[in-house]
Structures are given as C-alpha cells and as structure tokens.
Amino acid sequence: MKGKSILLGISGGIAAYKAAALCSKLTQAGADVHVVMTKSAIKMVGPATFQALSHHAVRVDTFAEAEPGVIAHIDSADRADLVVIAPATANILAKMAHGIADDMLSTVLLAATAPIFVAPTMNVHMYEHPATQENLEKLRKRGVLFLEPGVGPLACGYVGKGRMAEPEQIFATIETFFAQETAAEAADKPLSGRKVLVTAGGTVERLDPVRYFTNDSSGKMGFAAAVAARDLGAEVTLVAGRVSEPLPQGIDIIHVSSALEMYEAVLERYAHTDVVVKAAAVADYRPVDTFPQKMKKTENMLQVTLIKNPDILEELGKRKNGQFLVGFAAETEHLHEYAMDKLQRKNCDLIVVNDVSRADSGFGTDTNVITIFDQAGVVVELPLLSKYDAATSLMELVAKRLGRLGDV
C-alpha cells in the first residue's frame, strides 16, 4: 500500500461513517489518501473528519480551486493509482453509468483513468430497480470492480441486500488488488523469478567496545545494485554492513557488522540464491584479540595482531552450484590485471572494477566509472554514471547472461 495514491470518493449514504474507518486504515497502511465528497455526503459526516484522517484537504466543490496552478478535478483524477467509491449510492452509480459530471465527485470520475472500485449501498428496492441493475451491468462491462453489498438490516428499516461492505473487507480487497498488480508487473521483468543477494557497506572489526577497524564504504553502490535488481523484477535480499546512507525501501535487509557475520549471513542463504552481487568492502583482516572492556592507555607502542578473515566471495566461488557470481574490485592501479586475477581466483562470472583513485568514483561518491569483466576479458567499459545507472547496466547484463534479455 506504501506510496500508492488512493482517491476515496464518498457519496451521500448513511454508510459514509464507515468510510472514516476505511480512510484511517488505508492511511495507516501507508497509502496517500485523497478524499472527494458529494454535497449529500457532507450532511452525513463532516469533511473535517476526513481531512484529519487523510492529512489532506477534502474536495467537495468543483469551483473551489484552492491552487491557481492546478485544476482540482483533473488533479484528483490524475494522481490516483486507484479510485474507491465507498459508499456508492444509486445516484452516483447512475451518474457514472451515464457519464454525467455535475459535481466534484462525478466530474473526477469522468476524468479518472485508474481502476475503480465501488461499494454500493442503498435500500433493497432501489438496488433491485431495473434502472439500478442496468447501470450496474453497464459499469461492470466497463471494467468497474464491485465490492458487493451485504444482506442485513438497512438504515431504512428493511432487511435485504444493500448494506455497504465492511471497511475491513474493502481494505483487504484493496490490499489484494495492489499485491496482484505488483506481482503482475514483476512477472514481466528481466529478473523476475530470480533471487538476488547483494552485499553493501563496510565491515566492522572490533578491538574493544569503542574501537574498531573499518573502511570508507558508504553502502551507496550496494544499495544501487539492490534497487536496480528489484526494479528489474528480482526478489532481493540485502546484507548490509556499516553504511552511512538511508536504507532502501521495499527490500529485505539483513544487518551484519563483521566479516564473519557477513560470511554467516551470505553462506546461510546461498543455496536458495540465483545471483550474488558482492559490492561490500569486506575487511581482509580482524584483530586476533578483542577486549570486552575499553582498553587502557599504557605503553608508548601498541601492537595489534590481525588475522585473515575468510574470503566470502572465494568461498562462494568454491561452493558454486548454478549460482551467478558478481564480484567487485576496488583498485587504484593495474585494473585489468588485478580484476582478471580476482575473477579467476574467486570463480566469478563477472567482476566489476571501479577505479577508486578517481574523485568521482568508488567510496562514498554518488557516481562511478566501472568496467565489467568476464572470463574472456572486458565485457563493457561504462562512462561516468550515477551508481543507480551503473548498477542497472550491470543487472541488465546479468539478466542477459541468465538468458532473459536476448543475446549479450
């Protein structure tokens, strides 16, 4: 629901009070809810309620143009990813069916191109009237989605079909709608169905509770690779060490600190992973001795003995069983030679070399200049790009190698 814009249209049925609970649930779930009410609806529940629940001004009058640069009814229609009319009276349904636009809500509905859900509510005789049934049929054929009214006691005293669906039920239907939409979008993409594990950031090798060895990795390159893989449809797991950037949204993140923790986290998931992208800057060494209390200053000289960390990528290369391995190499000289050595030694399918001696490349920068190698040598030398664009080129190449984007 996060980031989705929902237009909640409220027409003048007694169930307008239930729309307040719906509005609240949608907002709490992260949706950006904009409310449009009819003049009859505001006689049932005041717009102030919906303004407070949605955190946006409620639109009622077509001619109350609060922002001179914006035509309110077009703005309301255009920003919606989904339109929900709850309650939908016989009157608003009839206007929708016949294309009548004589107030704010009906005008917005005529301008809206997003999918529309309606939750009808009315007296049972009004519901069964041939005019209403014809209107409903017309709307159904046009693709309007129905949240069928329930059977039970109605406000008018009758018992029958005409009660608006409960807010929980409407909420669940909207949730399912967005989940299906996301799944359908993802199924079409070059990395859909692929599980991609990305590592990002630096590792922290502790000496005592306040001191540690680390490096300048900000996490930006790994985050860009994770977001690019997600945008190309992959199911992404991000193993993040020490980072200084805000974490990307909508990605499963596992936080680790040391190289040993990163080793455990990556190896644990390796069997169920299709692609690994090792953008993290892993410390090659860690202190042999670590101290539970802060070390005291004593001698003039302090010697710290370091021991080699396991090489995660090398281990992945040894245990490879169908996985596609992408390593990174941060180099300052002999880029080609060092890259090919790492690629072969660590049994990678691709290695991405960045020249970290450049001011616009490597650690902490927003941009990167990368060259991608495979076992045969240079595949592509990319110009200076944002890390996201560089990562997208990389992940598209991975998709090609996995056979999803035609020939390389």
Residue at 33: amino acid letter: V
Q: Is 23 a catalytic residue?
A: no
Site track 164-203 with ligand PMT (rule: CB under 6 A), x = hit? ----------------------------------------
Considering the complex, state which of residue 62 and residue 347 has its C-beta at the smaller distance from ligand PMT. Answer: 347
Whole-number Å distance between alpha carbons of 304 and 315: 27
Is residue 219 a contact residue for ligand PMT (CB under 6 A)? Answer: yes
Whole-number Å distance between alpha carbons of 319 and 50: 57
CA angle 290, 278, 335 (to 5 degrees): 100
One residue of 33, 41, 109, 259 binding ligand PMT per CB under 6 A: 259
Whole-number Å distance between alpha carbons of 20 and 174: 16
- CB within 8 A of 175, min separation 6: which ones? 1, 29
Of 127, 49, 128, 56, the closest CA to residue 88 belongs to 127
Is residue 285 a contact residue for ligand PMT (CB under 6 A)? Answer: no
Give the tokens for residue 328.
Answer: 């990174």
Which ranges of 129-231 would DSSP assign to H, the alpha helix?
130-141, 167-187, 220-231
Is residue 317 a contact residue for ligand PMT (CB under 6 A)? Answer: no
Q: Which stretch binds ligand PMT (CB under 6 A): 29-37, 114-122, 166-174, 211-219?
A: 211-219
CB of 326 to ligand PMT, least distance (A): 8
One residue of 328, 349, 350, 390 binding ligand PMT per CB under 6 A: 328
One residue of 8, 281, 343, 369 binding ligand PMT per CB under 6 A: 281
CA angle 25, 30, 36 (to 5 degrees): 65
Q: Which member of 52, 64, 70, 156 is catalytic?
A: 156
Q: Which stretch binds ligand PMT (CB under 6 A): 30-38, 144-152, 216-224, 375-383?
A: 216-224
CB of 33 to ligand PMT, least distance (A): 36
One residue of 115, 192, 363, 379 binding ligand PMT per CB under 6 A: 363
Considering the complex, state which of residue 213 and residue 363 has its C-beta at the smaller distance from ligand PMT. Answer: 363
CB of 194 to ligand PMT, least distance (A): 19
Is residue 280 a contact residue for ligand PMT (CB under 6 A)? Answer: yes
- CB within 8 A of 326, min separation 6: which ones? 275, 276, 277, 278, 348, 349, 350, 351, 352, 394, 398
Is residue 248 a contact residue for ligand PMT (CB under 6 A)? Answer: no
One residue of 24, 91, 218, 237 binding ligand PMT per CB under 6 A: 218
Considering the complex, state which of residue 12 and residue 202 has its C-beta at the smaller distance from ligand PMT. Answer: 202
Is residue 364 a contact residue for ligand PMT (CB under 6 A)? Answer: yes
Is residue 286 a contact residue for ligand PMT (CB under 6 A)? Answer: no
Considering the complex, state which of residue 107 and residue 365 has its C-beta at the smaller distance from ligand PMT. Answer: 365
For 104, half-sphere exposure in the C-beta direction (CA atoms, 13 angstrom radius) is: 27
Q: Which stretch binds ligand PMT (CB under 6 A): 8-16, 23-31, 101-109, 307-315?
A: 307-315
CB 281 within 8 A of CB 330: yes
Interhelix angle 16-28/47-54, rounded to 10 degrees, is 10
Label the pairing between strands 306-308 and 350-355: unpaired
Considering the complex, state which of residue 27 and residue 217 has its C-beta at the smaller distance from ligand PMT. Answer: 217
State the residue for tokens 């079409």.
188
Whole-number Å distance between alpha carbons of 301 and 304: 10
Binding site for ligand PMT (CB under 6 A): 217-222, 259, 278-282, 284, 309, 311-313, 327-330, 342, 354, 356, 362-364
Q: Catalytic residues, which ones?
A: 156
